[in-house]
């Protein structure tokens, strides 16, 4: 497989960042820049397969995504002092890699996702909205937004999704994400994360106080079963996109944990 598209900035202890479903490394850019310049970390932001500027593939499993990230570790010669952080789907990729290759990491950070099975039906409206944009007639961002709005009423969610819109060489628009494959593979994205043995290194789970992606049950049982040296920190008044809603809190939490 080709190498994942990534952005490597700063010098110091490595922090690798994995975005969530329908996201790109751009979602984390302002924070990544700050961790590189203000926290003195080497920050590697990644576009996962079928997302952003990375390659498209008909296969979209956590085993393959974790291997993609490991291949990038090898290419960049990232050592065992690396902290790996993932949000949502990226968090499940990070958990998979940590459980299968604990020797490659120093620490793990998971943002607003638990290891348990997740019903992906809540993504159906988003998929319908993305598919509703007709690129044979769409001439600008506003028209794409209007088509999306019929299925995705939340403005913030639409703005996030529209980051995937780009203009091709022939001047027509398209999605950067591999939409058909991601839609078909949604059940795989919701799969439970399991492990042959727990990850015995430090792990930080960050949850949004207004999000239900990490429940009390996850906090008490699901997470400690696989990550016994974990802590769960709650960002009050934040939903699932914690880093977009409360960037200052996330900056400080990740900085403190990665440098500790």
Catalytic status, residue 180: yes
Catalytic status, residue 240: yes
Q: What stretches of 13-159 adopt beta strand conformation (E)?
A: 14-18, 42-46, 83-87, 107-111
β-strands 203-208, 230-235 pairing: parallel
β-strands 173-175, 165-167 pairing: antiparallel
**Tokens 């576009």 identify what position?**
47
Catalytic status, residue 57: no
Q: Which among 88, 118, 211, 230 is annotated as catalytic?
A: 88
Name the nearest CA neighbour of 114 among 12, 220, 201, 25: 220
Q: Which among 6, 19, 240, 243 is annotated as catalytic?
A: 240
Cβ-based neighbours of 130, under 8 Å, separated by 6 or more: 22, 148, 161, 175, 177, 179
Active-site residues: which are they? 88, 180, 240
């Amino acid at each position: 497989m080709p190498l994942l598209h990534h952005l490597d900035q700063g010098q110091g202890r490595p922090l690798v960042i994995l975005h969530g479903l329908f996201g790109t490394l751009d979602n984390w850019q302002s924070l990544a820049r700050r961790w590189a310049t203000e926290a003195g970390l080497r920050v590697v932001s990644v576009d996962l397969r079928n997302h952003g500027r990375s390659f498209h593939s008909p296969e979209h499993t956590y085993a393959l995504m974790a291997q993609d990230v490991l291949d990038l570790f090898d290419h960049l010669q990232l050592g065992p002092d690396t902290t790996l952080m993932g949000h949502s789907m990226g968090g499940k990729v990070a958990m998979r890699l940590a459980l299968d290759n604990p020797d490659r990491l120093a620490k793990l950070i998971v943002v607003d996702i638990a290891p348990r099975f997740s019903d992906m039906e809540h993504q159906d409206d988003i998929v319908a909205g993305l598919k509703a944009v007709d690129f044979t007639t769409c001439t600008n961002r506003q028209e794409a937004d209007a088509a999306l709005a019929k299925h995705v009423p939340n403005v913030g969610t639409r703005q996030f999704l529209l980051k995937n819109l780009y203009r091709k060489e022939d001047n027509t628009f398209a999605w950067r994400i591999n939409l058909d494959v991601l839609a078909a593979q949604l059940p795989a994205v919701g799969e439970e994360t399991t492990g042959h043995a727990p990850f015995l290194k430090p792990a930080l789970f960050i949850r949004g106080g207004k999000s239900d992606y990490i429940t009390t049950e996850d906090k008490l049982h699901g997470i400690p079963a696989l990550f016994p040296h974990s802590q769960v920190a709650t960002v009050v008044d934040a939903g699932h996109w914690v880093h977009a809603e409360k960037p200052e809190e996330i900056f400080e939490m990740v900085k403190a944990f990665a440098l500790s």
